[in-house]
């Protein structure tokens, strides 16, 4: 499979004359799977103008809620219908295990549209009554044109979360996916058109961050920027959006602590610790990558974790039995393995056995001496678990919070007073107690510290993608001061 991925503007595929071509390499076997026709600033401007025209025309933003709901639900149904093609493409360019794509990512993409379809049918706006009797109502209008910039690690699931939110509230949007993962967006944009999204309401531009991404987020006619990606990129984009005084939300990196206490179901904690770090090939913002174990149970827990890590089925991600596939790129492969140098590696830390080609890293476990090491402070973003031991729950809290990040934290503990104390003390946007990765789309999701700015989900997405308008009126006549009567 090798094709040219172009822009989707005004309901059709297009690319600028002489657009630069960027190769897309499959992490599975390092073959060329596609090329991107990179959208330059002129092409991005073309996309923004088309979106503005559609927004002004108002076909989508003025459509009744029931109409928008039915289109969003139709998108969800088509995503589920086309699971084979979507999963095959995401697997080919992201290298994620096909079982995880089929059972989680594609289902989540559909659920994102279903969730916002339901949500817009149920939310109410505030209304205030005053004495003397004034009525103040808060109305919400779509913001306008949303620029959505997405990463490669869960391309469909994450991009659709932003798109579904923007569309549900009546906006037009333009997506800039990662230049590493353009393939799955071809069928996605086609099925959105088939589902009845009017031309111009959704746009797609492909290309690198510094060229296409920067042109999009810095475009003066963009009204809101939603970004999911790395912390350093988040800073760049914040400057561009802030310079134009635009709304901005950023979901950034993490180095999440997974605290294992002696008072928990250790069997479940073990299963979950493995899932939290090794699913998605370890490339998850919310990975439980720093596993903190009380020293009284550390040896047994770590030994059992290592035995299971050695047993993980690393393989071609197109195989339904594969549990861990290749990391996304040569650069990511080199970066992940660089953390093994000089570290106390208990297993892995090297190329997975049996692969001549592709970016396969053997599931890795390291034992760190100190939370200050790069192993504990940097987001590695690969199948690489780091253990630290602690002495008592207060030390666990201290270590967990010693991080520039604060996206999520995991706690395994069945003692309720301890759970309440620890959740209160942890500095993270989400605390998962006795569970791995459970997201409720109604709840706000985002990070403390350098893990993000703002939140998405439920009301947070509504606040992001709408502009508030306050209308105040008297409910009966009232005396108005009479100026100018002499
Ligand atoms: P990245 O920051 O390198 O790229 C993300 C996107 O930003 C890509 O589309 C890229 O082309 C674009 N980009 C890069 N420079 C840009 C610029 N100057 N202007 C505009 N756009 C630009 O991130 P990545 O490597 O694709 O993804 C991995 C990172 O994403 C990890 O740090 C991970 O933790 C984070 N992430 C966070 C969440 C979350 O919800 N918090 C979810 C998934 C991934």
Instruction: Return the ligand 1 atom nearest residue 208 CA.
Output: 11
The per-residue pLDDT for range 289-314, each reduced to its tens digit, is 999 999 999 999 999 999 999 999 99
- 485 in a domain, yes or no? no
| pLDDT tens-place string over residues 317-350 | 999 999 999 999 999 999 999 999 999 999 999 9
Residues 203 and 72 in one domain: yes
420 and 275 belong to one structural domain:
yes
- Kindly tell me the sign of the dihedral angle through the C-alpha atoms of 403, 409, 415, 418: positive
Q: How far is the CA of 22 from the centre of ligand 1 (A)?
A: 18
79 shares a domain with 176: yes
Statement to judge: residues 272 and 238 lie in one domain: no
348 lines ligand 1 (CB under 6 A): no
Tell me the CA–centroid distance for residue 228 and ligand 1, in Å.
5
Do 397 and 459 lie in one domain? The reply is no
Alpha-carbon span 192 to 221, nearest angstrom: 24
Question: At 135, is the secondary structure helix, strand, or coil?
Answer: strand
| Beta-sheet strand order (sheet of 202-204) | 12-14, 7-9, 202-204, 172-176, 145-149, 224-228, 247-251, 452-453
Evaluate: CB of 233 within 6 angstroms of ligand 1.
Answer: yes
Residue 476 domain-assigned (yes or no): no
Q: Which of 35, 114, 162, 251 is catalytic?
A: 251
Nearest CA to ligand 1 atom 11: 209
Domain, as residue range, for 307: 257-433
Q: How remote is the C-alpha of 401 from its chain's centroid?
A: 22
Q: What are the tens digits of pLDDT across the range 17-58?
A: 789 999 999 999 999 999 999 999 999 999 999 999 999 999
Please state the atom number of ligand 1 nearest to the C-alpha of residue 152.
Answer: 26
Q: Which one, of 94, 75, 92, 73, lies nearest residue 84 by Cα? A: 92
Q: Model pTM?
A: 0.97
Residue 469 Cα to ligand 1 midpoint, Å, equals 33
Residue 323 catalytic?
no
Environment class of 420 (CB within 10 Å of its CB; exposed 0-12, middle 13-18, buried 19+): exposed
* Strand arrangement, sheet containing 127-130: 127-130, 134-142, 466-474
369 catalytic, yes or no? no
Reading the chain (486 residues) residue by residue, the pLDDT tens digits are: 469 999 999 999 998 778 999 999 999 999 999 999 999 999 999 999 999 999 999 999 999 999 999 999 999 999 999 999 999 999 999 999 999 999 999 999 999 999 999 999 999 999 999 988 999 999 999 999 999 999 999 999 999 999 999 999 999 999 999 999 999 999 999 999 999 999 999 999 999 999 999 999 999 999 999 999 999 999 999 999 999 999 999 999 999 999 999 999 999 999 999 999 999 999 999 999 999 999 999 999 999 999 999 999 999 999 999 999 999 999 999 999 999 999 999 999 999 999 999 999 999 999 999 999 999 999 999 999 999 999 999 999 999 999 999 999 999 999 999 999 999 999 999 999 999 989 999 999 999 999 999 999 999 999 999 999 999 999 999 999 999 998
Q: Which CATH number fits the domain that encloses residue 67?
A: 3.40.605.10
Q: Indicate if 206 and 315 belong to the same structural domain.
A: no
What number of other Cβ atoms are within 10 A of residue 49's Cβ? Answer: 17
Phi, psi of 233 (to 5 degrees): -60, -40
pLDDT at 131 (0 to 100): 82
Angle between helices 155-168 and 83-94 (to 10 degrees): 120
Buried b (16+ CB within 10 A) or exposed e, 76-113: bebbeebbebbbbbbbbbbbbbbbbbbebbbbbbbbbb
With b for 16 or more beta-carbon neighbours within 10 A and e for fewer, the 18-42 pattern comes to ebeebebbbbbbeeebbbbbbbbee
Q: Is 134 a member of any domain?
A: yes
Residues 206 and 338 in one domain: no
Cβ–ligand 1 distance for 251 under 6 Å, the answer: yes
């Amino acid at each position: 499979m090798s094709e040219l991925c172009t822009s989707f503007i005004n309901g059709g595929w297009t690319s600028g004359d002489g657009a630069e071509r960027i190769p897309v390499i499959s992490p599975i076997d390092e073959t060329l799977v596609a090329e991107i026709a990179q959208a330059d600033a002129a092409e991005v401007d073309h996309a923004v103008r088309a979106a503005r025209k559609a927004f002004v025309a108002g076909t989508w933003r003025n459509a009744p809620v029931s109409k928008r709901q039915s289109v969003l639900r139709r998108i969800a149904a088509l995503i589920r219908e086309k699971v084979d093609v979507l999963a095959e493409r995401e697997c080919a360019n992201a290298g994620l295990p096909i079982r995880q794509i089929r059972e989680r990512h594609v289902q989540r993409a559909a659920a994102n549209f279903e969730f916002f379809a339901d949500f817009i049918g149920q939310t109410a706006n505030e209304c205030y009554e005053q004495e003397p009797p004034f009525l103040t109502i808060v109305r919400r209008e779509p913001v306008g044109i949303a620029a959505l910039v997405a990463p490669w690690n869960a391309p469909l699931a994450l991009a659709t979360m932003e798109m579904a939110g923007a569309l549900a509230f009546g906006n037009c949007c333009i997506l800039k996916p990662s230049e590493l993962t353009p393939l799955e967006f071809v069928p996605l944009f086609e099925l959105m058109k088939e589902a009845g999204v009017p031309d111009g309401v959704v746009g797609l531009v492909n290309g690198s961050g510094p060229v296409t991404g920067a042109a999009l987020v810095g475009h003066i006619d963009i009204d809101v920027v939603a970004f999911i990606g790395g912390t350093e990129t988040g800073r760049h984009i914040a400057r561009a959006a802030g310079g134009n005084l635009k709304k901005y939300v950023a979901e950034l990196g993490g180095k999440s602590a997974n605290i294992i206490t002696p008072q928990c179901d250790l069997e479940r904690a073990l299963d979950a610790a493995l899932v939290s770090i090794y699913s998605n090939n370890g490339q998850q913002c919310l990975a439980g990558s720093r596993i903190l174990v009380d020293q009284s149970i550390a040896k047994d827990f770590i030994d059992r974790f290592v035995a299971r890590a050695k047993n993980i089925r690393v393989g071609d991600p197109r195989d339904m039995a594969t549990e861990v596939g290749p990391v996304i790129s040569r650069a990511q492969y080199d970066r992940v393995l660089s953390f093994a140098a000089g570290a106390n590696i208990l297993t892995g830390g090297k190329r997975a056995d049996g692969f001549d080609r592709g970016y396969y890293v053997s599931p890795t476990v390291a034992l760190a001496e100190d939370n200050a090491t790069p192993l504990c402070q940097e987001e590695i973003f690969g199948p690489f678990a780091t253990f630290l031991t602690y002495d008592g729950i207060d030390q666990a809290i201290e270590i967990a919070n010693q991080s520039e990040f604060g996206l999520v934290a995991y706690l395994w503990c069945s003692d309720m007073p301890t759970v309440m104390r620890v959740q209160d003390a942890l500095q993270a946007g989400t605390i998962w107690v006795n569970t791995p990765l459970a997201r409720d789309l109604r709840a706000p999701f985002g990070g403390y510290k350098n893990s993000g700015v703002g939140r998405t989900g439920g009301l947070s997405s509504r606040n992001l993608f709408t502009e508030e308008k306050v209308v105040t009126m008297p409910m009966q006549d009232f005396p108005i001061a009479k100026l100018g009567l002499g």
